[in-house]
Each structure stands twice: as C-alpha cells, then as structure tokens.
Structure 1
Amino acid sequence: MTNGALHRVAEPSPADEQRRLAAVRRYRVLDTPPEGAFDTVTSLAARIFGTPMAAVAIVDADRVWFKATHGLGGITQIGREPGLCASPFLHDAPCVVPDALGDPRTAAHPLVRGEPGIRFHAAAPITTARGECLGTVNVLDTRPRQVTDDQMAALVDLASLVMDELEVRLSAVRTIAAERAQRTTAERLARALQRALLPPALPAVPGLDTAAAYHPASVDEVGGDFYDLFPLDDGRWAFFLGDVCGKGADAASLTSLTRYTLRAAAIYDPDPCAALANLDTVLKGEHQDGAPRYCTAVFGVLQPVPDGSFTVSLAGGGHPPALALRADGTIELVSTTGGQLIGMLPRPRFVQATTRLLPGEALLLYTDGLTEARTPDGTMLGEDGLVRRLSATTVREADGLLGTVDKLLTDLGTGVGDDTALLALSVPSHRIDPSAQENR
C-alpha cells in the first residue's frame, strides 16, 4: 500500500500506454449505460470506508470516465490531470492520499480546488490478468482521514470484483458473437447467454463434494435461475441459489445483477441475512417505470469442523426449503419458512436456519421449477412428493444425488414447465466420533 502522498512514478512508455488503451477498448466499457453491478461496488466501497463518495473509474487516453459513482452529484468524467483517479493506475498497488489539499501532487486538481473539494482519496487498480490497468475503484471525502489495512484489503477485493464483472461481460459478448457466427437460431443464443450467467465450474472445497446443474424449460428463452459457490477470506465458503422474476433479456440482466451483488455483499458482511438484505436494497434501486425487480434466494455459509463435518448457516427469502439427506436414510427440511420475497416488500423479513452435515450426508438446494412440476396425474410434485422420491434412494454423493433429480425431471417430461437450478453439497463418508451425531 502507498500511504501518504502519491509517489512520483514514470509515465508508461508509448507502447505500454497503447497496449493499455487497447485493453480498455477490448472490454467495451467506455460510455456504456449504468449497470447495477458496478453501482453496488461504489455503494459498498463508500459504506466500508464511511465516505460520502466513491467511483469506478476507467482511464481513457485524455479523460477519466466514471462507469459508476456514489455521491458525486452527476459527475460522469473528468480530465486526465495528474493526481486522484488518473494517477493511481500507474501503480501496482493501492494508493492513499490522506490530505489532498496538502499534497503538491494533488492540491491543484480541479476536484480538490473546486467542487466538491476533495481532501481524502484512496484507490485500488482494476487490473487485467495480463497486467493492464484499466482504471481504479476510488473512495473520496471532503475531509482528511486515515484508513485501516482491512479497509484497503476490501477495496482491493472490490477492484477484483469489477475486473471479474468486466471479464463476464466480455465473455458473454464473445460467446454470443461466436454462436451467432455459427448459427443465428434463438436456441443457440439463449444457451450461450445462459452459460455466461452461471459459473463455468464450481470450485474445489476441501472435504466436500459439490455438483450443480441447470435445466431450462425452454431451449430458446433465457431463464432467471442462478447459483454460485465461492470462498470467504476466513476459511469458510459461501453459496447461494435463487430465481429472479421473468424471462428473457430482463431476467438475464437481473440474474447477473443478483449474482454479482450477493458475491460483493459477502465481502462486506457474509452473514446470510445481511447478504439478502443488501440484495434487497440493490433490487429496490433497480425499479424502472414502476416495474418491480424481485427474486427468491437462499444464501448459506459453510464452516468446516475439525471432525470432518460442516456447519451450515442458511437464510431464505421466499425460497423453497433446502433438503438435508442424512446418513441414516432420513430427509429433513432445513426450513426458512417466513422469509419473504427479495426486492418487493418495504421491510422484508429473512429467516435463518442452521444445520450440520456429517460424513455421508448431503444438502440439496433447488428452485421451484422442480417442486412445481406436474406429475402424470396433473398434481404438483411439491415438497412432499420430492421427499418421497428421494427417500427411495440411498445416494448421498453430490453427483449421484443430482443424477437422481435429473432422472426425476426426465420422467416428469412435459410436466416440467419452469427452469430448475440445482446445487448439491455432500460430505464424503468416513468413520467419525459417535458423539458428533449427538452434537448435531
């Protein structure tokens, strides 16, 4: 971290600057409309630092353009004068200016001398995997201040999330372009976009087997179901699964925002109910022309236990209960009944539950496309019907469990009228202290 004034560093060579500008063009972000995912980053950054202003800045050839701002009063771009947002991109590390007015390198900057009178500035670079710096995530204040190492670490994480989102956007554009070049059918395009909205693969979690699947009800329309699994900084793992309202392009946009917001919220506070509350705030800010943007979701945190088991904390917002498949053959509902829709109500209630997965046990999460499917006699499968079907198998491994559900969906055939997302987590079997069962 660079504390105090910005150190003077050499300007990049013309060749390096051309390579950097080519990267900025490659990501196709300049002058694009506002997007909720980046707005979430600025609001979280301001909240973490307790500052009134924050921005996601992209450094162009002769300007600094703001992809997202918080508290900057409609400022969308500034000149590329030395100091503040235009200078930290020259560094390989975050930068801090505790008092911009007292620093000769920033004192003459228009945002310091004029409105809004910046006195404090901290920034973390947005850097590609090739080492090209596209811009910075910034927090600003009108009074001098100091920062903590934890705050700067969070700012670096937020800059990484911005880079991840830019990669997802670029991947989606390239995937769709490649699919269109081969076949322009709606089916191909929908599948390409759907893949871009879901993780390409789940990460490996030590001591846990994982599996996920997405079953579209229509081959030519993008759905709104989503899931994810990712590590937290303290050895725990977070996961979520849910379903946004609607279909098509609007649902795809909302799915991307929802998934990104939950990941970003986990940096600020991984408490399950807090993560859903953050998402609720963001979705309410996305209402356009009176059209609500809402979803159901379950957010969980996995805590490994030394004996090989996992403690699972879940919070639900209007979502079906998770199923815990026990080693003794029983199936328990991990209910978050009472949790309300996210993004819809003035003060929604989110309900938290805790369970424990012992070796030989599994947790299954699903969207309502599964339980609302119709059986051959025309009745809905429902939670009871799902439990009955799963009770007929002793499979507890994540992959095998999803195979069982896949077969169920195939058997239901045309009775499946909605998309279904599935996430299974299982603890491999091994011998365990009997007292662990008593301490579930």
Structure 2
Amino acid sequence: MSERISRHSRKSYVLRGGRPYGGDPTDLVLKDGVIAEIGQNLSGPRAGTVDVTGLVVLPGLVDLHTHLREPGREDAETVESGTVAAARGGYTAVFAMPNTDPAADTAGVVEQVYRLGQDAGHCDVQPIGAVTVGRAGRQLAELGAMAESAARVRVFSDDGDCVSDAVLMRRALEYVKAFDGVIAQHAQEPRLTEGAQMNEGALSATLGLPGWPAVAEEAIIARDVLLAAHVGSRVHVCHLSTAGSVEIVRWAKSRGYPVTAEVTPHHLLLTEDLVASYDPIYKVNPPLRSASDVEALRAALADGTIDCVATDHAPHPVEDKECEWAAAAMGMVGLETALSVVQQAMVDTGLLDWSGVADRMAYQPARIGRLGGQGQPLEVGAPANLTLYDPAAPWVVEPADLVSRSRNTPYAGTTLPGQVVATFLRGRPTVLDGKPQ
C-alpha cells in the first residue's frame, strides 16, 4: 500500500474494495481533502488506486480525553509524539487535557497547545481548558478568554482533580452555557479517596491497599447532573467506572438532563484482579473495578447510556511506574491499543457492530466537544478523515514498538485482535501499513 501511495501526488486516491462500517465492499475516491465519490468500480489516477480489500473503513476516530503532557512534562509525552501515537491508533483528532505545567488555564497556554498540534500535523489537536486557576479548585479560570481564543475551547475540565466545590461547579456551568460549552468532571470526592490505592472491596482488604469506594465517584456524578439540570447547562462525566455511576447517568438521561459520559478502553476490559500482582502498571485513576462493573459498563456503552469511548491516554516515564505501588503514578497509555481493545470487549462479544464503534469513537466525541470537521459519516462531501482497520490481524503488544514517548501499557505481551492499517487526515495519509508517515 505505502509504495503505491508514495509514488502518487498525494492529492487524490481511490481506495478500492474497503468495507465501510464493516459492510459490503465498495470504492471511495478521496480528492482535495474530501470524500468525492463512493460506489463500485470507480476510476481515478492509476498511481493513486489503492487495494484495501477486506479492511473495515471507519470515520477518523476522535479522542475526547488525551494527555499530551506538553508544556511541562515533555519527558513523558509531547504534542508531536502523542499525536503520532494517536494517528497510529486511527485517530484524526484528540482533545488535549489541561493538567500540564503550567496548567492550560489561560488563552495563551491553550493557543500554544493548539498551534503545536497544527505544526505537528498528525491529527487535529483541540485543547481542553482548565475550569479553575491552576486546577486548584478555588477560582474560575479565564473560561471566556479561552473560548474566544484561536483554539475556540468548548470543553473545560480540572481532570486529575475534581471540581469538588458545589458553588464553584455551579458557577462554571452557568458561565459556559453562554457559548455552549461543557464542563467535563473528574468525578472523585477527595475526602472519600484520601490515600486510596485501588477499588474498595474484599480484594483491597486482602491485599492491604487502601480502598477507593465507588460512592466517591457516584456522589459527585449525582450532584453534578442535578446542578446541570438546575442551570440548564451541559456536564460530561470523565472515565465513568462503576455500575452505580451508570445507573445515575441512565436516570438523569431518562429525565432529559444535559449529561454525557465516557468510558475508557481499559475499564471495558481489565478488572481489579490484576492489582493482586502489585504491578504499578495497573494503577490508574479511577481504579480498575470489579468484573460486575465491567459488565455494566459494556452494557451501558452498547445501549447508549455511556456516549463514547475515551482513552484517558496517560503517559508516564519509566521511573514513575517502575517503583513500589504506593509511590507509582496513576495512568496508562492507550491511544495505540484503543480500537483493538474495543473490538475485543464490544465487537467480538456482539455488543456493538462497526457502525456502533464509529458512533462511540468518532461521532459522539466530536459532537460532545463541538469539534467541526471531525466525526462525520462516510458520505460524499465529508472531510476525508478515515481509519482503515483489519479486524482479522491479531498482534502482540510490545511496549518497545509503541511510538508514544512512554511505554506504560497494561497490555504488554497481550495478543489483541485487529490492527489499524492506515489513517487519512483530510485525504492525506498519516499512517500507512501501520507506520506513521
């Protein structure tokens, strides 16, 4: 594939025999950055004809929750390295979380991240602004200035920390309503999780690790959906992880409250049992939960209670993970493995088809984040943001082969189903044959 494309002018391509949403084989013509034609036996420049027979064609994926670490922790990740990893995972857009150093709490910092993404060019980078100054939870940040900046911020979060003050949360919801913004809440009641190390339950007691109760997440979600309904403003729940949280969101949606929610790939597949190894690779916030929680999360993603999958890609340098459990940083990388994990957890189990994957991993995150030009259906005239995926190509995850600057993957040595073969950003290949361009 790569040789045939590299000889071409890179202005137009015919992708022949792909399977949009896993359906019947068809051809797609990409020209001038958009999908120009869809149909059978389409013609195009000979050098730009690419045989993609059997590959599932999806809209370019959109990640609503990515940590790119720049500025401040370039030892863990940069906008350049993180977006290369995103493209390799099939993503054409990512939302960059604000827990950087300095925090992305001003127009200047979000514009810096936005322009770094433009310069890198591997995928679109949409900054998320901090809700409070320094993410300290005491004073609202410059929400309006960030919204009016070149980055056009519409999502605000103190992710990594909860906006635990109810009055401050209400004020934030009221403020962003004026420009159709959304507050993305890291739902963690801080007083209930002081010193917490893993999911609270029988296993935490057996292992002697302080427990992280489900109610710490659920209490904040319950409060915030009521605040959102009262204000008439949008709230988004980051990395929802418990069965109880699912029921609260389901209840709120049944009443028409403006709430959306995301789940991470690792919370769809991994359980707290892995913590018995005391391997800090499995230390994450929120913690890995019980098998019954995983079952509830899968069902909620399938029925739409949970709107989307978001990676919570959280890179850390080796010294922050290869240490004793209590001292280890929380988080896992996930951009390069997300689609494979979703295939295993949701598609291979019959809970979602490929159209459902496109909805949960492209349409919904773009809609929630109000990101124009991304997350659009495969139709004539739409931007040519595409992911070509081989669901019948299992691979063994080798940390050394990841292109992220960090290697803290929980899937090392694991065989995952399916691989991203190519990614196109507005008709330009950013990944070919699984290799970044």
More RCO (CA 8 Å, sep 6+): 2
TM over 0.5: no
Give the TM-score, by structure 2 length.
0.25
Bigger Rg over Cα: 1
